[in-house]
Amino acid sequence: MPKKLLKKLFPSPEQIQQNESLRLLKPLFSKPNLWHLNRRSVARAFMVGLFAAFLPLPFQMAIAAAIAFYANANVPISVGLVWISNPITIPPLFYSTYRLGVWMLDAPDRGFSIELSLDWLLTELGQIWQPLWVGSLTAGLILSACGFLLVRAAWRWHVISNWQRRRLNRQRLHQNDD
C-alpha cells in the first residue's frame, strides 16, 4: 500500500492538536490507532467513510469521525472518503439511491430533481425520504463492505508480493554466493 505517500499527505496528530480551531477533536488523540496506517485501521476507515458518504445527512464528516472513533478506524481516511459525496456528485448519487429505494420498497416513483435549497428540502424531502433512506443505507452498507474487503485483499496481495520479491532476492543472493 502507498503507506509512505499517505503519511506525507495526512497531518500528524501533533499538527492537528496545535490548531486552536480543532480543539474539539481532543478525544480523537487519546487512541493512537486512529492515526496509524495498518491493514485493520485503513480497511475500517474505508468501511466507515464509504458508509457515511451515502448518508443523506449534513455533517457527514463529523459523523464519519465519530464512527471512526468507536470503530478504531483511521480518522483522516474516514473523513476524506466522505468527499465522495460532494456538491458535484450529490445529485446523481442520491438520485441513484432514491431509485434503488423505490425499487426495493416497490414504491411509486415520484420523480424529483435535487435543488440544494432549504425550500426544496422542506417540500420534497417529506415525500421522498423513505425510498431515499432505504436506498442510501443499502448502497452505503454494500459499498462499505466491498471497500472493506477490497482494502483487506489489496493490502494482503501487496504484503505477499513483497514477501515473494524478498524471497527471490535472497535466493538470487544465495545463488551468487555459491
The model carries a pTM of: 0.76
Judge whether residue 78 has pLDDT over 60.
Answer: yes
Q: How far apart, in whole angstroms, are the C-alpha atoms of residue 73 and residue 28? A: 11
DSSP run (H or E) holding 102: helix 90-105
**Grid coordinates standing for 123?**
417540500
Please write the tens of the pLDDT for every residue from 98-135: 999 999 998 887 766 666 677 776 777 777 888 989 99
Q: How far apart, in whole angstroms, are the C-alpha atoms of residue 133 and residue 56? A: 7
